[in-house]
Structure 1
Amino acid sequence: MKRVIKRVAVLGSGVMGSRIACHFAGAGIPVLLLDIASPVPAGGEGQPYNKNKIVNDALVAAIKSNPSPVYTKAVVQKITTGNFDDDLKDISGCDWVIEAVVERLDIKQQLFEKAEQYRKPGTLITSNTSGIPIHLMAEGRGEDFKKHFCGTHFFNPPRYLRLLEIIPTPETDKEVIDFLLDFGDRMLGKTTVLCKDTPAFIANRIGVFSIMYLFSLMDQLGLGIDEIDALTGPVIGRPKSATFRTADVVGIDTLVKVANGVYENCPADEARQIFKIPEWLNQLVARKWLGDKTGQGFFKKIKNDKGVSEILVLNLKTFEYEPRQKPKFGSIDAAKLMEDLPSKLKMLMAGKDKAGEFYRQFHYGLFSYVSHRIPEISDELYRLDDAMKAGFGWEIGAFESWDAVSVAKTVEAMKAAGYSVADWVDEMLAAGNKTFYIVENGKRKAYDPASKSYKLLPGSDAFIILSNYGNKTVWKNNSCRVYDIGDDVLGLQWNTKMGTIGGDVLTGIQTAIEKAEKGFKGLVIANEGTNFSAGANVGMIFMLAIEQEYDELDMAVRLFQNTTLRARYASVPVVVAPHGLALGGGCELSLHADKVFAAAETYTGLVELGVGLIPGGGGTKEFALRASDEMQQGEPENIPLQNRFFTVATAKVATSALEAFNLGYYRKGTDEVVMNQDRRIAEAKRSVIELYDNGYIAPVPRTDIKVLGRSALGALLAGINGMQKGNYATDHDALVAKKLAYVMCGGDLSEPAIVSEQYLLDLERQNFLSLCGERKTLERLQSVIKTGKPVRN
């Protein structure tokens, strides 16, 4: 049968339950959120009583939390609340029931017993438990319940952490497993990982081992908390929170609970002693210094004598909080010069200082541990890597890291240092297989220990990774590569820091379009870094401006404008697939594409006002053009212009791709959101083919844009002056906003007029260049270069 999920019930509205409900609502699925009935308040008769107070308060707290669990506030309307006493019967109208109550087996079993009375046959029923064996929860239930029951372990916060572990029992129907793996991927945007019903499943088993092993190494090598966090953060492809900050965020008690669970329930684990809690960690729990939830853990935030917030770090020997240190390691300083992570890892593990020794010991231990978890926790090694990337934010997984530093050489060094590897690794190497992953014809395969062969990764057709097409490079320069990604479609990506757009990237975009026009159906523009693009190369703009090279600056802005127009008016479709940050120039490129396939977690906006500039790559022109189109659809003429102006003037950034439609960055009916960012490039490619095969006709440059001149300009200037007087805008903010208003109104025209795109682009460029000569703009640009944030001047 074809299973359809029209409504979901979430049982339990705690931190996880309420946020799971919000994520389903964000995906467009109506949710019934239930919890225990609120107790009757003290005070007797006549007092107001709401049986749904617990669930309602929990939902309100979730919605107010930061980061937000919803893509837009409007999706909350899809959530209906209720209580177990009165509303459990309503799960009969749901297609999937998810339990997310307290982590106690007896309570879960009691709830499932009640739910079985109302659940209609064939309905999916799953538990979000993170530690209780899945099969135990289904004991005593009927055959249909057991066939449709399994674990679905979301990671917190569900909107942002992409991992969804699927844990079947021996009785779970295969159709249910396959459906959940697919639905979680396509509809919920998750990396769905099939797990065995073993303690801590996959991500927590490997992740907590990694943290506990670091604790052990810290003692062995005499390293401190600040040193460990410096060694285990972005430099090795891990989150900024590294190790100890991550523990504070997750909760030290949670970490201890998982570690204890593995220690007690995995007697055959060869590294079992690593999970034994050190005395200093037990002390933290005893003192209730559990991290963020209690206000202090490994770190503590205070106000110093000057009233300035300061973060202190715990000295584990004295249990006193001290000022943080900035550790310096030669190996790390050298590795930071390397562009790609595999090269960094090689250099770090070869280091001759204490950091090098740490990296060798840490990776040897990690590699040994993951090799022995196959087939205990998973039959497939790629699932371990997927789980760690999606659940713990690792840039590359353990087996991918092992490939990066040479499997054979590392195994030899590990054995010499006293570390073991699982037999299947030795067998793999003996058979002449040198890596855990290979790429063939743009498709990625992983080694399968059971069959002793390489197998295609699931979703290879749905997930396009541009770098897998390295042997099909059509053109490249220092920053960009253009690939033939099959079916007569080209793909372009660039590898600059934060995806910034400079001369090389603009040349790459123009070249890619030119090549696509000469023998391909179209072009997909995307990249695989953490972000699509943080905007134009601010350093280049600053250098040209500070040296007063205005002719070169004028040429640079013209090149940017011409490039976005080239994307708009190419003779073949150009589709952009952004994710992460898509700011400034990255947003402007999206504004000019035939279509945008944005990952749900895309943060886009025209943010140039913050650095004292106006959008200069066609963004100001495009918002004026779109305001004109909206005027012609019947709204009072000044309203669309005002809305568009204040979006740019306040540098509003959409906090999700869905919100980008509300702010006018994406076009309703044209642009689309892809829940799973791994699918966006494949979807963009499909769209290119569809547009081309349906007889694509390139648009023509617009000459019918209505601008309102002085009548609208006066109103906008009055608004700017009001914000300035109310101290919502500095004098320089006001100056920049006035330049923006001037361009969007078409200049100082005595009456409304019809103008061309080029007319607006010329105004945009002239005013952009004039702002580059302002001292306060230069101060803001310099501040961004030095600190990553513009100074408020």
Structure 2
Amino acid sequence: MTNSLPIRRAAVLGAGVMGAQIAAHLTNAGVDTVLFDLPAKEGPADGIVLKAIANLGKLSPAPLASKALAEAITPANYDTGLEQLKDCDLIIEAIAERMDWKQDLYKKIAPFVNEHAVLASNTSGLGINKLADVLPEQLRHRFCGVHFFNPPRYMHLAELIPATTTDKAVLEGLETFLTTNLGKGVVYAKDTPNFIGNRIGVFSILSTIHHTAQFGLGFDEVDGLTGPLVGRPKSATYRTSDVVGLDTMAHVIKTMADTLPDDPWHAYFKSPKWLEALIAKGALGQKTGAGIFRKVGKDIVVLDVEKQDYRAADRTAAPEVVEILKIKNPAEKFAKLRESQHPQAQFLWATFRDLFHYSAYHLADIAETARDVDLAIRWGYGWSLGPFETWQAAGWKQVAQWIADDIVAGKSMSSAPLPDWVFDGRDGVHAAEGSYSPSRNAKLPRSALPVYQRQRFPDPLLGEQFAQGETVYENDGIRLWTDGDGIGVISFKTKMNTVSDQVLDGIQHAIGLAEKQFKGVVIWQHKEPFSAGADLSGALGALQAGKIAEFEAMVANFQRTSQRIKYALVPVVTAVRGLALGGGCEFQMHAAKSVAALESYIGLVEAGVGLLPAGGGLKELAVRASQAAGADGDVFAELKKTFETVAMAKVSNSAVNAKELGLMRGTDKVVFNSYELLHIAKAEVTALAEGGYRPPMPARRIRVAGDVGIATFKMMLVNMLEGRFISDYDYEIAERIATVLCGGKVDRNAVVDEEWLLTLERKHFVELAQQEKTQARIAHMLKTGKPLRN
């Protein structure tokens, strides 16, 4: 893969919410980053930036993969720091959305930008060509728009907006960098106001606001309809607006009104009176503690426009509408929504109709293909399907006819006609060969840029199928498959990729096959999570039926599987993304190498359900502590680093943090684009195999902390118990964890082997499992998904 854009150092101009978080994410990705802002009026000149960097540690969700990374960001100001721009390869401007301010800043920095650096504006909607006007000739071909979505670490979308003067090689280099190094999904947008994501996304919100009033619905009621029921995030419409900030919302609406005077929907580009009233009162949403919704004690209240006051937020989707939305066949579902007389169903049909109408009408102006619109909305707004995919799934021709009928009947928000291509006999805009481009009147395939060859399974659009590989072995728990590249891939088939008996037996059998047929194996899942851990419902059933021997055999089989991963004759590499809890975490601990996507939430969480890790996890921590201490170091000091992680059932908030918690090794790999995870894991297998891989020698001389270690941990626990940080039962579980980690009641620095530690794990696990309080914790977790503190 060629990357014609070597980026060693980057600068971000503007330390506001977006700028500081973009700098944080560049730093996450290992890019040396300078963050600029105006010089402070008093105190140190870099005071504004220093304050912004300090604030990064307080934001939730966390912009930094590790709090320690804050120190890596270099603060600077425009008066004394511009010399630092000379050695930056990428400069991202992220100051306030004012054309004159941005242009003034460009004039100021232009003399300091070196001849190969790329300058990009993170504007959310200003004209890229107009911004480029003030740049010197030699910088214009290295300037473009790159619009990150908030929060930049978590939102997959980055819109790339070329100016007419932007060099193609610069765009391709930047696209490659954004995709692999920052883990983004890149969509090219044309230079039109608000680009693609916000143009369609904000229109959808405006249409929702309009129809909320038209059908007399409450804001809470609409959020009940426009969230997970229609494949969108839990925060739905109005709660999302509160999170984004109602002032920001009003600003974006005003930008649309000012910059799109000829849009046929222009009459709707204005903030409703209730929104203006909230802003005037300073109720801007989450950041001020009140907006459309407000928390009063433990209750949530919602604005009632008629009463001009808040009321209890208790209106939800009507049962009959929920029944329609549950229909699996989209064509049937849309037909039922359209014919239902229920105001909620009428509302939903109207919002979808106007969204489809607007997206089709403007497709040619704003994007090259329908794919760009659908991916922008999915990646930028978190929808499971974009507007065109939704329309196509519901039956393109029939829905087009209904939209046309509604336009004629005056029911639509605009009387603008649908474009002719909608009615040219097509059944949709997406097909296996590509997505429709109105400007070229053809279906265009996905980008052929080399970076995309690293994605074996890209995020699929409706109608796209990617070859599933050749099955080598399959049972009810797993599938072992290959692409014919000499590497086997094990994928789980259970719900949430939990670990059942079939998964355990399947992994062991698959590794046996791989030792004969392949150079190595990757454990990778088609979808998140990596694994939510052991199958608790199966375990609880065996316990309640009093089948203790059967239960103990399952635990022994779990340990056998972890050991099989560790001592396989070919390298086993785990490819982790999303949750890797309990047994999922233990499997990756036993792999020759673990490769984890940045957004991996890894933890040994058994204490939360009244158990302790017994798939070899505690044994592995004891082995690592002994190895780290060496022949005469302090084993207890090494154990202390991970004891709290396990006893408190801590889960990492990133793969980087998983290393800090001792759940991943320093040599394990963090990957930024989860769609590249399989590619990189296979590369690691190849590197290990080509390097003459041998499994580690069995750990027969493990030095343990023994009875002195256990006693020291108990002293720590007594303090926590007295401070009421833990319950009596938490104390008992943690004491048992300490006992296993320290190798049991043996002398300090005694030497044991792995089998000794595995036996200890099993014994304590089975004893805990038989206790009433543990069974109550497991049952509670299965029922509510939340831990019980008993």
State whether structure 2 residue 650 is matched by structure 1 residue 652. Answer: yes
Which residue in 2 is equivalent to 1:542?
A: 540
Say which SS state the counterpart of residue 160 (structure 1) adopts: coil
Confirm whether residue 463 of structure 1 aligns to residue 452 of structure 2: no
Partner in structure 1 of residue 597 of structure 2: 599
Distance 1:346 1:688, change over 3 A: farther
Alignment of 1:249-328 (within 5 A): 249-303=243-297, 309-325=298-314, 327-328=316-317
Which whole-Å CA distance do the structure 2 matches of 1:620 and 1:37 have between them? 51
What are the within-5 Å matches in structure 2 for residues 508-523 of structure 1? 508-510=506-508, 512-517=510-515, 519-523=517-521
Aligned CA distance change for structure 1 residues 351 and 523 (closer, same or farther; 3 Å): farther
Distance 2:50 2:780 in 1: 44
Contact 1:469 1:483 in 2 (8 A): no
Matched, 1:208 2:202: yes
Separation (CA, whole Å) in 1 of partners of 2:773 and 2:16: 48
Match of 1:442 in 2: none
Q: 2:679 aligned with 1:687, yes or no?
A: no
Whole-Å separation in 2 of the counterparts to 1:336 and 1:715 = 57
Say whether 1:367 aligns with 2:356: yes
Return the letter of the residue paired with 1:777.
T
- Which amino acid is 1:464 matched to? R
2:521 is paired with a residue whose SS is strand
Between stretches 707-716 and 408-417, larger displacement belongs to: 408-417
Q: Say if 1:348 and 1:356, in contact at 8 Å, map to a contact too.
A: no
For the pair 1:15 / 2:17, whether they are aligned, the reply is: yes
Shift of 1:565: 2.6
Letter in 2 for 1:465: F
> Contact 1:499–1:529 at 8 Å: present in 2 too?
no
Q: Which amino acid aligns with 1:390?
A: W
User: Does the residue aligned with 1:376 lie in a helix, a strand or coil?
Assistant: helix
Change (3 A) 1:416 1:702: farther
Tell me whether 1:716 sits opposite 2:692 in the alignment: no
Query: 745, 749, 756: which is aligned to 2:746?
Result: 749
Give the Cα separation in 2 of the matches to 1:629 and 1:163.
43
Aligned to 1:608: 606
Aligned partner of 2:461 in structure 1 is none
Q: Is the 2:478–2:491 contact (alpha carbons within 8 Å) kept by the matching residues of 1?
A: yes
CA distance, structure 2, for counterparts of residue 435 and residue 146 of structure 1: 35
Alignment of 1:133-172 (within 5 A): 133-172=127-166
- Give the AA of the match of 2:629: M
Q: Deviations over 1:697-752 (max 9, x none)?
A: 34454333333432322222232223222322211111001111222222222454
CA contact (8 A) 2:641 2:662 kept: no
User: For the aligned residues, what is the CA RMSD?
Assistant: 2.8
Answering whether residue 27 of structure 2 is matched by residue 30 of structure 1, we say no
Match of 1:452 in 2: 442
What's 2:41 paired with?
A: 39
SS in 1 for 2:212: helix
The alpha carbon displacement at 1:281 in A equals 3.2
Please give the residue correspondences for 1:722-733 in structure 2 after superposition, counting only pairs within 5 Å.
722-733=719-730
Q: Within 5 A, what are the aligned runs for 1:113-192? A: 113-192=107-186
The one-letter amino acid of 2:197's match is A
Equivalent pair of 1:336/1:344 in contact (CA under 8 Å): no
Q: Distance in 2 between matches of 1:128 and 1:544?
A: 56
Q: Render the CA deviation track for 1:330-359: whole Å, top value 9, x for unaligned.
A: 467558989xxxx47567435566465554
**Paired residue for 1:783, among 773, 780, 784?**
780
Q: Distance in 1 between matches of 2:93 and 2:690?
A: 46
- The answer to whether the 8 Å contact 1:29/1:78 transfers is no
Question: Partners of 2:189 and 2:146 in 1: how far apart?
Answer: 10
C-alpha displacement of 1:84: 1.4
- The structural deviation recorded for 1:507 is 4.7
Change beyond 3 A, Cα 1:548–1:685 = same
Which residue pairs with 1:77 in the alignment?
A: 71
TM-score by length of structure 1 reads: 0.90
Q: Distance in 1 between matches of 2:627 and 2:481?
A: 36
| Alignment equivalent of 1:377, drawn from 361, 366, 388 | 366
The reply to whether residue 388 of structure 1 matches residue 390 of structure 2 is no
Corresponding residue to 2:559 among 536, 540, 561: 561
Q: How far is 1:476 from its partner? A: 5.2
CA drift at 1:781: 1.9
Equivalent in 41, 46, 49 of residue 52 of structure 1: 46
**What pairs with 1:341-360 in structure 2 (closer than 5 Å)?**
343=328, 348-349=333-334, 351=336, 354=342, 357-360=346-349
Residue in structure 2 matched with residue 231 of structure 1 by the alignment = 225
In structure 1, the residue matched to 2:98 is 104
Consecutive unaligned residues of structure 1, counting only runs of 5 or more, are 41-48, 304-308, 440-444
In the alignment, what sits opposite 1:44? none
Q: Which amino acid aligns with 1:551?
A: A
Q: Take 2:633 and 2:230, find their aligned partners in 1: how far apart are those partners?
A: 53
Q: What is the distance in 2 between the residues matched to 1:493 and 1:72?
A: 30
Aligned residues: 767
Secondary structure in 1 matching 2:284: coil
Identity %: 38
Superposed counterparts of 1:432-451, under 5 Å: 436-438=430-432, 445-449=434-438, 450=440
Cα deviation, residue 411, structure 1 = 3.7
Secondary structure, aligned partner of 1:578: strand
* 2:389 corresponds to: 400
Give the match's secondary structure for 2:365. coil
Query: 1:613 is matched by which residue type in structure 2?
Result: L
Structure 1 residue 153 displacement after superposition? 1.4
Partners of 1:181 and 1:193 within 8 A in 2: no
User: How far apart are the structure 1 equivalents of 2:679 and 2:345?
Assistant: 40
Deviation track 1:67-109 (CA, whole Å, cap 9, x = no partner) reads 2221112222221212212222321222222222222111111
Unaligned runs of 5+ in 2: 459-464
Which deviates more from structure 2 when the two are superposed, residues 178-187 or residues 517-526? 517-526
Distance 1:373 1:434, change over 3 A: closer
Which stretch has the larger CA shift, 243-252 or 324-333? 324-333
Alpha-carbon contact 1:564-1:618 (below 8 Å) kept: yes
2:61 aligns with 67
Conserved 8 A contact 1:447-1:455: no
Equivalent in the alignment of 2:736:
739
Q: Residue 81 of structure 1 aligns to which amino acid in structure 2?
A: P
CA distance in 2, matches of 1:707, 1:55: 47
Structure 1 partner of 2:193:
199
Distance 2:669 2:693 in 1: 19
Change (3 A) 1:547 1:421: farther
Aligned partner of 1:572 among 570, 573, 577:
570
Gap change, CA 1:684 and 1:547, over 3 Å in 2:
same
1:515-538 CA distance string (max 9 Å, x none)? 544534433222243432332233
Task: Pick closer, same or farther for the CA change 1:329–1:534 going to 2, 3 Å.
Answer: farther
CA distance in 2, matches of 1:405, 1:573: 46
Shift in Å, 1:64: 2.3
Quote how far apart the aligned CAs of 1:115 are. 0.4
| C-alpha distance in structure 2 between counterparts of 1:246 and 1:371, whole Å | 25
